[in-house]
Amino acid sequence: MTNSFSFEQQVIDRSRQLPVVVDFWAPWCGPCRMLGPTLEKLAEEQAGRWELVKVNTEDHPEIAQQYRIMSIPNVKLFRDGEVAGEFVGAQPQRMIEKWLDDLIPSQEAEDLTMLLKEEKAWPDRELAVRLEAFLEERSDVPLARLALARHRI
């Protein structure tokens, strides 16, 4: 990261297309050095779901001040140009995975949400047919099963 303008491009603008996780850290921070590799590993494993940007608070104090970074490591998730969630301190990988899952809906959840927005009436037979097709591909989405049961009545 070279300046505040690139933060605007790499985080704010990019988060309008894909969630961006920002790791605020410093080289002297022991917990930061423990957390960094975990975030990098998850970013690689979940490529395409979200992106990781690392901000060295020593090099970019103005960005740290703008986002009220009082303690590091501090991790913020940006969606649609806004902070959607954050945590402070080194966390175990499974806690970070849960945090990400809570903040970034799966593709299945987004697809189901779009499908349910098309609901016209109750029961909606056309929607029931589309939900059946959805469940043929993704049988492990309980909310889809509930919606289908509602529209089969």
- What is the three-state SS of 94-122? HHHHHHHHHHCCCHHHHHHHHHHCCCCCC
Name the residue type at position 116. L
Element of type H or E holding 79: strand 74-79
Query: Is residue 50 among the annotated active site residues?
Result: no
Annotated catalytic residue, options 32, 35, 63, 147: 32
Query: Is residue 29 among the annotated active site residues?
Result: yes
Taking the chain, what is the end-to-end CA distance rounded to the nearest angstrom?
56
d(CA 26, CA 57): 6
The 10 Å Cβ neighbour count of residue 78 is: 24
Annotated catalytic residue, options 29, 77, 96, 141: 29
Catalytic sites, residue numbers: 29, 32
